[in-house]
Amino acid sequence: MFKKLISVSLAFVISLTSFVFMTANAGYGERGVDYETVTFEDMYYDIFKDHAVLNYGNNKSGDVIIPSVVEGVPVTRIGVAAFEEDYDMTSVTIPDTVKEIGQIAFKRCKIKSVEIPDSVEKIENGAFVGCVNLTDVKMSENIKYIGSGAFAMTPWLDEQSKKAPMFIINDILVDGSNCTGDVIVPDTIKSISGGAFCGNNNITSIVFPQGIEIIEDVSVCENLKKVVLPDSVKRIEQWAFMQDTSLDEINIPKSVEFIGKWAFYDCKIKKLEIKNPDCVIEDITTDDKLKDIIICGYENSTAQEFAEKYGAEFEILSDYIAGDANLDGNVTISDAVYILQYLANSEKYPLDGQALINADCDGKEGVTGLDAVSIQKFDAGVINSLPE
């Protein structure tokens, strides 16, 4: 277990380090926009037309005060690794002009407390990771995003996590390390920080709530057997379920547009159902493991293309539900009404594609009034299944 946690931590650090070298903060997120780099109070800033980014704190020590304005424009972002490992920094004052705190911005600093002003809406991955003296955090009331491991390995997070199974800030689930058994994430949760459940071997299942759009790091949960994803999820990020060795099957809803690299690395997953025919699928695990996975998806989908590329077994999904003429996933009297309307005026009330296939449910070829009768009998409990 210890080795696995180390592998995850190293992967996390490597990814952040790579990102730092790739972006170097200069013009962060604003490629093609003119800026100039200036020095002010011995710190380096990128100056844009209407804002400034603090990109390097220059190994500051003692009590550091970040100015609100440089060169006549507000400082709106503390950049990637700006104060990383500034071991002699004891405190920092963040002005109320700052909206974002970048990745590993204060990694391993010796600050004891920090007040994050209400202007801050985003704290990125590892922003305060390893701040071993950080015991007090006053959080922005307008925070919308807290990245993976933003406060990992800090006494403050350790203390907050002891108070309840889930540590929640402003409808963001920051930590679930003390959850046990079958976990149902509350419907009020709007986002989940990456790593919130990472390494928790006491959870056996997780049901994510409607509204969650991104699934990040839920890795190294050795006893996690079941995951239920809502149809609001759009992305499953890289390493999302890495080394969840008890997870053997997962259904990916139609809403998911992207599955990241190594999302299921070192899992014993046997069946993966991908319902979006156009989902972007990266190398979700090693080539040899892929050969043991059954990929389920629609014919001519990216799931089929992916399975064939790596020699995985592929099963074709079907939306056929006998009697479900309105494609709502259920068979009720309303489906009979759809069929009767179609038969009365097919131009005004068309049935085509899968709906027309589902409507033919009386055991005889073609859609007729008898199909509507069969649905009525099923709805009334006269028959137990369709087609008759």
Burial class (CB in 10 A: 0-12, 13-18, 19+), 194: buried
In single-letter form, the type of residue at position 26 comes to A
On whether the CB atoms of residues 305 and 284 are closer than 8 A, the answer is: no
Residue 292 confidence (pLDDT): 81
Q: List the helix and strand counts (H, then E) for the chain.
A: 7, 26
Residue 72 confidence (pLDDT): 97
Does domain 164-314 correspond to CATH entry 3.40.50.10800?
no
Residues of the chain with CATH 1.10.1330.10: 318-388
318-388 maps to which CATH number? Answer: 1.10.1330.10
**Best CATH choice for the domain 1-154 from the list 3.80.10.10, 1.10.10.10, 1.20.1250.20, 3.20.20.70:** 3.80.10.10
> Rounded CA gap, 301 and 31, in Å?
34
The low-confidence residues of the chain, meaning pLDDT below 50, are 1-24, 26-27, 29
> Rounded CA gap, 240 and 181, in Å?
20
Residues of the chain with CATH 3.80.10.10: 1-154, 164-314
Residue 9 confidence (pLDDT): 43
Residue 287 confidence (pLDDT): 63
Tens digits of residue pLDDT in 8-42: 443 444 344 434 433 445 445 455 678 999 999 99
> Rounded CA gap, 127 and 146, in Å?
9
Residue 32 confidence (pLDDT): 60
- What count of other Cβ atoms lies within 10 Å of the Cβ of residue 288? 9
**Which pTM value belongs to this model?**
0.76
DSSP 146-157: E-TTTTTT-HHH
Residue 283 confidence (pLDDT): 85
DSSP 335-381: HHHHHHHHHH-TTTS---HHHHHHH--SSSSS--HHHHHHHHHHHHT
The DSSP code for 197 is S
